[in-house]
């Protein structure tokens, strides 16, 4: 594996890795909810042409730049390269996927809520913790009306969910909306 290392938390390219026909770049990002690594991976498809294979963002448990880089490299060896190598032979490699619409995001959110909470896979959480978790999932999926969907799911009023979200923000369990907006703006600008 060949690698080029830049300073972590730089702009767009913190890490470049190459293995066989696969080339992967990673950007380490610090967000209001934690750190993650955003991968863009390309390779030479069966027709011999370069093609994009993966666009993948994964959370990192590490907090300092050196450990984040080491964690990202380990993740690449274990998951990114094997997945990308498998995708090289697929006929759809490199096809762009249309962005999800409002209805699709809401539907995905509802499916994931049901999977974790209706099926009993997650139990023992207070309604406060459940709301915090659901709100973070909705934020990740960029759901347009998360409070309304959570209220319907929990069979409570919108005001109840809003109060729980406010408590979550006050405790630090949910990032403040202003912090999330500010961080998104910085990421858009590449800072």
| pLDDT at position 99 | 79
| pLDDT at position 95 | 65
| pLDDT at position 96 | 67
Distance spanning both ends of the chain, measured CA to CA: 29
| pLDDT at position 147 | 93
Q: 138 near 149, Cβ under 8 Å?
A: yes
Q: Is 90 exceeded by the pLDDT of residue 82?
A: yes
| pLDDT at position 48 | 74
Mean pLDDT score, 17-39: 87
pLDDT tens profile 42-65: 988 777 778 888 888 899 998 888
What is the chain's Cα-based Rg? Answer: 19
pLDDT tens profile 101-153: 889 989 988 998 888 887 677 778 888 998 998 998 888 788 889 999 999 99
Task: State the Cα–Cα distance between residues 31 and 125, nearest whole angstrom.
Answer: 25
Mean pLDDT score, 23-42: 86
| pLDDT at position 80 | 96
pLDDT tens profile 139-186: 878 888 999 999 999 999 999 999 999 999 998 888 777 766 666 666
Is the Cα dihedral 45, 100, 10, 169 positive or negative?
negative
Q: Is 50 exceeded by the pLDDT of residue 8?
A: no
Distance of alpha carbon 153 from its chain centroid, rounded? 23
Select the more confidently predicted residue: 191 or 85. 85
| pLDDT at position 93 | 62
């Amino acid at each position: 594996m060949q690698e080029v290392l830049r300073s972590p938390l730089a702009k767009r390219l913190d890490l470049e890795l190459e293995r066989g026909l696969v080339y992967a770049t990673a950007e380490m990002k610090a967000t209001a909810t934690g750190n993650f690594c955003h991968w863009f991976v390309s390779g030479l498809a069966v027709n011999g042409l370069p093609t994009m294979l993966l666009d993948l963002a994964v959370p990192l448990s590490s907090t300092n730049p050196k450990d984040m880089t080491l964690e990202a490299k380990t993740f690449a060896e274990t998951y990114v390269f094997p997945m990308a190598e498998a995708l090289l032979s697929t006929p759809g490699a490199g096809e762009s996927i249309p962005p999800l619409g409002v209805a699709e995001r809401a539907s995905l959110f509802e499916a994931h809520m049901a999977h974790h909470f209706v099926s009993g896979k997650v139990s023992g959480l207070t309604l406060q913790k459940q709301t915090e978790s659901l709100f973070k999932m909705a934020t990740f999926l960029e759901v347009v009306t998360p409070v309304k969907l959570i209220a319907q799911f929990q069979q409570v009023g919108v005001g109840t969910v809003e109060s729980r979200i406010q408590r979550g923000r006050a405790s630090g369990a949910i990032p403040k909306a202003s912090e999330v907006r500010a961080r998104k703006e910085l990421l858009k600008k590449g800072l």
